[in-house]
Structure 1
Amino acid sequence: MFKKLVAVEPLNLIPSAERALFDYAQEVVMYDNMPESADEMAKRIGDADAVLISYTSRLGKEALEHCPNVKYIGMCCSLYTPESANVDILYANSRGITVLGVRDYGDEGVVEYVVSELVRCLHGFGTKNNGTLREPWDGIPREITGIKAGIVGLGKSGGMVADALKFFGAEISYFARSEKEEAKQKGYRFLPLKQLLKESEVIVTCLNRNTVLMHEEEFAEMGDRKILFNTGLSPAWDEEPFAKWIDKDNVVYCDTLIALGNDKFLKHPNVNCMGVSVGRTRQAFDRLSEKVLANIEAFMKSQQN
């Protein structure tokens, strides 16, 4: 059992999971707002030996070096690589601190979002951000059937998006670090990034946080008359070439501002940003809660061996 467990910000756990935290520590402290600085983060952690954090704040060396008792950091959010994490995992590990995160808890909502917004775009349903009525993408309502869709990053969520679009009849291509046999068996084409951007009408980027693959050359190769979705927790592009590209005959969809990158784009007529994380569903919170508690159990078991 931990001596003191601190949740440094809201965790998005279901009530029963929050109550369960008290079974794992002699003292539990939970904050209902985000720390505004590294100093405040360090003060909140104090002498705690366990820390829980969501995706909205950063826990770096500058805070951790003032918290000598920490043994465990539970990320109540996705953890794919140390580079994309909002915790300085390399520093934590150098201190002997165990950092555990979760994966694959909000992907279903992402898939539904992409399908929903693509249908609205192709059919002309609803209104734009500036309040004007949409027009069908091609001037006449159109199905997903036969559309060329390129998936950039074929991890769990990218694979689920690809499968969903294929179900509706899209032709799927993808770019990843390497060709995937399972995707090949499904008939998905593995393409170099620039070729995928050029040949696809719909591009969906499903990348880890802070992964930028679309630079000026990529936007030039992609050209115009394209529909771009970014489902990550940060922009998949450099801002300057993106700004030039979105001024042309293109459209982009992001669920949150952190995926879009700059609030100056929010009122752009070719930008569609909902301002709500599409992975924040009731079912996602259930899955997240189960995995956060399972990670704590796994850590405690490892300490007993």
Structure 2
Amino acid sequence: MKIVVLDGAVLNPGDVDWGPISELGELAIHPETAPAELAERTRNADILLTNKTELRRSDMGHFQSARLVGLLATGYNNVDLDAFAERGVPVCNVTAYGVADVAQHAMSLLLELCHHTQEHTESVRDGEWERARRWCYWQRTPICLTGLTIGIVGFGDIGREMARLGHAFGMRVLAYQRTPRNPPPWEDFAFVPLEQLLAESDVVSLHCPLTPETDRLINAKSLALMQPGAILLNTARGALVDEEAAAAALKSGHLSGMGTDVLSEEPPRPGNPLLRAPNVLITPHMAWATVRARQNIIDLTAENIRRWLAGDPVNVVNGVNVAACPLL
């Protein structure tokens, strides 16, 4: 069985182990794959594994031998699910591989926006404390999270973990979920409509998938519903936010800060408005990148393949629940 990894360099620059997948077949790993290289690299491949390489309907002629597509990620907007479904090819993703990792990254952005530790560290290094006439100073007044309200948009595994962290800091937690279920047992928690969450939250943290319904979910209209001085966090997908509207809200002060690990285009185009907006922290889509999380992706992908071979496919996102071809 031939297994092809189309873009393994980001997932594994050499510090995690491909072994769980290589044990299952002949494994070919490509650091990256350009569109022009798809035909050659996918020829005779039984299983295609992709992180961000696009597998589109227009390229289906290259994938005649494919029997399974595995996403080395949770998101699947880079794969044409319907096109593979029409061919009877399951597409499987991995979930819950970096729940704590991503939530901790989101919380680190929030804490930095509230306490500005890097800015003050740099001012000390520049000699400002040595020149100070008093024993302490601050360039921006720090913010205590205790007693504030955090609104979690999307209450899956990561959203729940972010809620738990907010609760641990003494925050009131509101959550918006299309189908509310399994609320945590805290008195200071409630499922609420999105409009109420936006209006009542000091901090809004996005943890929902990107779908046609959530594309630009945060836009000029929804930003206007938020409290003046609120903070926006996004560790989900960049296109959840209308970046022009968010930049305008930051410039006007309606948003006091924004922390994001994702942008609508990655790498960003030079003119992305958030790159020049004030009071914004941008990290390069790295919340998922701990060794622990990346090894989990490999381990969970191997389990997806084993379950498919055993006739019990799991984590199928395109509705094709078929077992491996008997010839495999």
How much has 1:255 moved relative to structure 2? 1.8
Task: Indicate how the Cα distance of structure 1 residues 196 and 90 shifts in structure 2: closer, same or farther if over 3 A, else same.
Answer: same
Q: Report runs of 4+ in structure 1 exceeding 6 Å deviation.
A: none
- Report the Cα offset of residue 258 of structure 1: 4.7
Match of 2:261 in 1: 255
Unaligned stretches of 5+ in structure 2? 125-136, 312-323
- Per-residue deviation at 1:198? 1.4
SS in 2 for 1:40: helix
Alignment deviations for residues 105-125 of structure 1 (CA, whole Å, 9 cap, x no partner): 112122212222222222231
SS of alignment partner, residue 175 of structure 2: strand
Determine whether 1:299 maps to 2:297: no
Secondary structure class of the residue paired with 1:74: strand
Contact 1:17–1:293, Cα closer than 8 Å, also in 2: no
Tell me, in whole angstroms, the C-alpha distance in 2 between the residues paired with 1:174 and 1:298. Answer: 34
Trace 1:1-305 onto structure 2 (pairs within 5 A): 2=1, 4-10=2-8, 12-13=11-12, 17-25=17-25, 27-33=26-32, 35-37=33-35, 39-54=36-51, 56-79=52-75, 84-127=76-119, 139-183=140-184, 187-210=188-211, 211-212=214-215, 213-249=217-253, 250=255, 251-258=257-264, 263-302=272-311, 303=324
From the superposition, tell whether residues 173 and 103 of structure 1 become closer, same or farther in structure 2 (CA, over 3 Å): same
- How far, CA to CA, are the matches of 1:16 and 1:176 in structure 2? 34
Which whole-Å deviations, capped at 9, do the CAs of 1:61-108 have from their partners, x for residues lacking one? 1222332111011111115xxxx5321122112101121111011121
Shift in CA distance, 286/23, structure 1 to aligned 2, threshold 3 Å: closer
CA distance in 1, matches of 2:265, 2:231: 16
Residues 42 and 136 from structure 1, CA distance in 2 versus in 1: closer, same or farther, beyond 3 angstroms? farther
Say which SS state the counterpart of residue 150 (structure 1) adopts.
strand
* Separation (CA, whole Å) in 2 of partners of 1:28 and 1:167: 44
Q: Which has the higher contact order (CA 8 A, sep 6+)?
A: 2
The separation in 1 between residues aligned to 2:226 and 2:206, in whole angstroms, is 13
CA shift in 2, pair 1:218/1:184, >3 Å: farther
Distance 1:71 1:122 in 2: 49
Q: Is the contact between residue 246 and residue 274 of structure 2 (CA under 8 Å) also seen in structure 1?
A: no
2:223 and 2:249 in contact (8 A); partners too: yes
CA RMSD of aligned residues (A): 2.7
Deviation, 1:159, is 0.7
C-alpha separation in 2, matches of 1:173 and 1:219: 17
TM-score by length of 2: 0.79
CA distance in 1, matches of 2:263, 2:123: 21
- 2:133 is matched with none
Give the distance between the partners of 1:126 and 1:18, measured in 2 at CA: 36
CA contact (8 A) 1:233 1:259 kept: no
CA distance in 1, matches of 2:16, 2:287: 23
The aligned length equals 291
Deviations 1:224-259 (A, max 9, x none): 311100011323122342232122212110124458
* Contact 1:53 1:75 (C-alpha < 8 Å) held by counterparts: yes
Greater Cα shift, 86-95 or 159-168: 86-95
Q: Is the 8 A contact 1:119 1:143 kept in 2?
A: no
